[in-house]
Amino acid sequence: MSMGCKLANIDWDEVDRYLNAGCSGLSIASKIGVHSNTLYQRCKIDKDVEFVKYRQQKISEGDDILRCAQFDNAKDGNTSMQIWLGKQRLGQKDKQETTQTNINISIDSDDAKL
């Protein structure tokens, strides 16, 4: 009979939610009650990828989810979001008017000498 260590239970759906939100591995490990090294090793075993790469993939997915939510919000009539997305994606700018003021400066000949 083997007396090996029992593997920690990793809820990858929960880990993925935290990763989508941009949480660090250290933070996630703390939240799910395992050591960070355990999380990193189990990622390699369970997902067949290094944690750093897996984390980047999930952060990218989270960014896409956020973009879609913002776009849906804008489509639903949120004018602030429409303006913000227009500036970010379309390069739109607020119109800025500038005025020129002429200033007369007179220099006394004594002041002009170095």
**Could you tell me the residue ranges of all domains in the chain?**
12-90
pLDDT tens, residue by residue, 36-53: 999 999 999 999 999 999
pTM of the model: 0.71
How far is residue 40's CA from residue 55's CA, in Å, rounded to a whole number? 10
Model pLDDT, residue 101: 78
Determine contact, residues 22/62, Cβ cutoff 8 Å.
yes
Distance CA 11, CA 32 (A): 8
Residue 16: is its pLDDT beyond 80?
Answer: yes
